[in-house]
Chain A
Amino acid sequence: METIDNILLEKDHDVISLSDSNNAVKILLIEDNVSNVLFIKKALEESSYSDATLFVAKNLNDSLKFSEENMMLLLLDINLFHGDGLNDVQCVWDNFPYSALIILVMGAYDEAAFETLKTSRHNYITKNEIDHKILDKTIRFAMDRSITIQELKSANIKLSESEDKLKKANRLYAFISQVNQKIAHIKDQESLFQNACQIAFEFGKFKIAWIGMLDRQNNKINLIAQKGILAGDLTHFKDVQLQNNGPQENIIRSGKYFISNNIENDRLLNDWKELSIKLGLGSCIILPIKKQNNILFTFNLYSSEPNFFDKEEIALLVEVTGDISYALETFEKENQRIEAKINLEYNQSRLKEAQKIAHIGNWELSFASGQAMWSEEACRIYGIRPEENIQSFDTWVSFIHPEDLDEVMKITNEAQKTLSSSTLDHRIILKNGDIKHIHSASKFEFDKDGKPIGIYGVSHDVTEIKRKEEQIIQNEKLFRVLIEKGADMTTLATKLGKVTYCSPSITTWLGYNSEEFLLKYPIDLIHSDDIEDYLKNRNSLLQTPGESFHFQQRRLHKNGNWVWCEGTVTNLLDQPGVNSLVSNFRDISKQKKIETQQAFDRNNLNALINNTNDLLWSVDMNFKLITSNERFDELVKYMSGQTIVKGGDILAVGFSTEQLNRFKISYERAFEGDTFTEVVYSDIPTEFWSEISYYPIREGDKIIGTACQSHDITDKRKADKKLKQSESRLKEAQALSHISNWEVDLLTGINTWSDELYNIFKIEREAVQPSLELFFSFIHPDDVNYIKEMIKKAFRTFEDSFFYAKMDTKEGSPRYLYAEWRFEFNENKKPVRLYGILQDITERKNAEITQEKISADIIQRNKNLEQFSYIVSHNLRSPIANIIGLSTAALDEDLEPDMKKEVMKGLSNSVKKLDNVITDLNNILQTKQEVNQIKEIVHFSKIADDIRSSVINLIKKENAVLHFDFSEIDEILTIKSFIHSIFYNLISNSLKYHQPNVPPLIKIKSIKLKGKIELLFTDNGMGIDLKNKGDQVFGLYKRFHKESAEGKGMGLYMVKTQVEAIGGKIHIESEVNKGTTFKIEFET
């Protein structure tokens, strides 16, 4: 119980299953009182419905959730808390129409119970009475009642259906009978359709009926008749596009009708859905209507009810549409019949008219009667009255022109023989004497056995035609002559461009013969650049008969060239006898060429005139500008700020009055006929030089003006000036520097020398022809060969080079030259030019020599000074120091006698030594001065002999041997005293420093070499350790031999000084204890 309580409390509704069976009877209790629910539940459990399933709802709304549950019984508390009493009962009744209903009331006094009872429609039960028996009974009763009600309901429905069917049948019958009635009376399609719609609406009770006509071209159905569509909705039915596979399209394609019994949910009618709902349409049928076996119409019927169309309905409607189709067929046939009749009448009258217009008459001759019946026009042609239309063969023959009679008879006889159709042309003479040309044709008529029964034919009055023909022929002849003899080309072409005629001049100008040309189309002949315009013009011409257009185009000559043609095309397509597009044109190549040339010349001239930096203008005799180029205009604008127009005053521009006057004079000079050029300077805008040329313009013998050309030569002027300046500066520079330049063109061998080169050689430019030979003639013979070698080498290697040379100066003082050269090569690396400089460097050379001398002198003096200083500090100081020391000792009174003697002796030696040093010093200084002594021829043998004599004692003492050999050369130009000193010092050294116990052997030999003399002094003495002392050998006061203390270190110093003073060199070779050799060289 608790569980149920909870359920009821917590939920609005629930299912309380009294049994487990799924098939149990379903009972719905609508009750908001829990204790009542429990109570009823208990009663049910005890009743015979104990296995039922009890659903409980706490209010009416919740109960509706079970409306689909197929409740057998509903128990409704009429006094629900939120309930509405009897309205609740009606609501439940409506929602559960197939369920039995028991109302739960409070008691018999319950007002609601009364009301329920009043209607006697429902069972009730008072709550306080409920027990299982009453419940059982009441339920059963309620169920019975429910069943009865259901049965009654069903019977009612069936009755109503039968009624409906009857009604429908009536309706359908009315519909079809009405339609058929109308069909019987109506003779036209439009009325039929309109009536069909009307009847469908009125008798068929359709809400809408309309007929659509198929418009195949636009794939549409057009509404042509309707009933029931409000004006506002009409647009939806008009111009309905056929949907592919849509209902209309399907009908037209298949011939089958289309039904939708539920438009709202019909997928195929989606597009109509919205409208259908709006219009309240439930079902529809669309049926095909045929006309002559083609489905051309659809019959559309709409009902407001869904499921409207059943079998009978459909069958009837198919029949109706069949009837309509049949009616249409009938209409058509009738129409055709009427039309045929009208046509016949029409044709007959037209024939008459036609015959009249065409002057064609017809006739029939019956062989049976021999009578001929002539038509009105035939009578008119033959000049007889229409009433006289019965003629005969003979009467006809009487009209024939006598000249044509034989021929006519011949043909008619022939025709009669063969019974074949015939034509003949002949003349007739009318009664009034007029002659007419007749063309007649005849045919035999046969009966069914093939026997000829008559003859019929036409007579055509061709008099006018004949006359016109003749005129045309005449005209055409004239025309042809004109065309064919004319220079212009004429063609005739069809609308499509096919050429039908061309004049013979085509051959002259375009090269084609007629046959070839007739095969051509415009596209074959006209230049691709011109064709588009041509075709455009031609197309618009086709729209405007009689009009022309002008063309100028290139046409293809047979030889492949393009020929410029000019002409017109005229649309004479409508012109009888011409019926063509007529082209007249001529070859304008020559004019075109001239024009092109002229245009080119003009442009070319303009280009030339305007593409120059020169100013070009022309002036007439009134000083007015005739023409000018752009450059001129620009300059005028620049100078004056104004533009000068053609015809403007040329003397009113730009310049100062003074300048303008000068120009005026120049113009006047030109007007006199003078052609001239003058240079004009202007400082506008800046330094501005121009060369103005004047060319008089003549017209016949008369001068009408002058053409002027101004050429800007400012840059040239400046450049010339600069060139001249730099040339003169170069000359000046060359003269100052004594540098000349020269070049040899290696291709022509031409030598070019600058002015300075002539100056260097002191020759006149005009007197000589520059050449290598001329150059060598100025070179000192000593240097010629060496320079020639240099040049030879240069031409082998093509390398830059230089040389120094002495000039061959006949008058004495030597001059020196320096030359330097380079090669210039062309793009093939081939030398093309040798160029260089030649400089007179005598002054520099002399300066250098002087400088060298001074430098050498200064160096020597410096050396001397050093030597002097050395001598003073060493050699002079040495004896002095001794003297000081000794003299101090000498003053010592305690000095022992022996010692005193030694001191005095030392003092004496020191003083002597001092004296020697001073003497040597003097000698050395003397040597320097003697250099300036005059040179003389000195004989080595004489000097050697003199010295031998002077030291003969020493030679004897040492047993020395002296050997001299001056056989090769014995004399030299030099300073004698120096040679003497040299010989003396070297000989005495050899004597002094001999090896102990070895007699000195001294050899002196002179050798003559190229450009020099060599003297060799050899001894077998002690030698000098050159390894250690070599650098000091020739030093002053250098001594190398301890055994020979008397050496002062002066000799070799003196020798070297003196050798060098007279331009020689000395060299020593020595080996200790072997001997020494001095080698002295003198330049000669």
Chain B
Amino acid sequence: MTTTMTASTPLLEARGLTRKFGGVVALDRLDLAIERNEILGLIGPNGSGKTTFFNVATGIYRADAGHITFDGVETTGATSRAIYRAGVSRTFQRSRLSLPLSIFDNVMIGNHKRLNQGLWFNLVRRRAFKREFETNYHAARTLIEVFEPQLAGRMFEPVAGLPMIDRRRIEICRALISQPKLLLLDEPSAGMTHEETTALMDDILQIRTLNKNLAIVIVEHEMGVIERITDRCAVLNFGRKIAEGPYRQVAADRQVQEAYLGVA
């Protein structure tokens, strides 16, 4: 796989991306580029296409028209699995953890591509498997510790009994464990208090300092968060990008204000 990469090639580029659901045009010839190692805020009123964009970018929905390239490779119409293997990871708007499973299990689900999936290895070579298990236990534990040290000692507790904020943290760890190049966060702070949100954003920034080779796209409704942690923003409305740039600039944009508040 050859990549036509230069330092200025965007990590992910969507051009003319269109997706319809029946009569509703969720993405309308969207052009959006995500640069390497940046934190991009994706904002817009409800129904503007943010989650749909994530779903198309991760292969859950096929685009009706347009192209996406990731890391120089065309991924339009690629499967979710291929996109994950290429280095894209995500969280979901509606928290999708496997509730009966333990914290460790849930995080390991995100690590699929780095685990040995062979039948012989898993069933027969138990000593080797144990070594891989222990290595990954420590990796998962270390990651969880960044977000919530209290959970680190409870890695084999079922997720079902944990509060929402812990579940979101675990979901983010699940997305991070495979060391992706691009992390898509879909409303990570939904349902959290202001303090919890601040703590979560601190943790995300910490992840960034530890891992320079990571771009993050974050969908958020709390503008304080966007202002604080993003390098720049893209604003969607009715499936199109209507503004782009640092938060301050975008917040002052007339079109953006109208999109959120309606025409005065």
User: Do the two chains belong together in a single complex?
Assistant: no
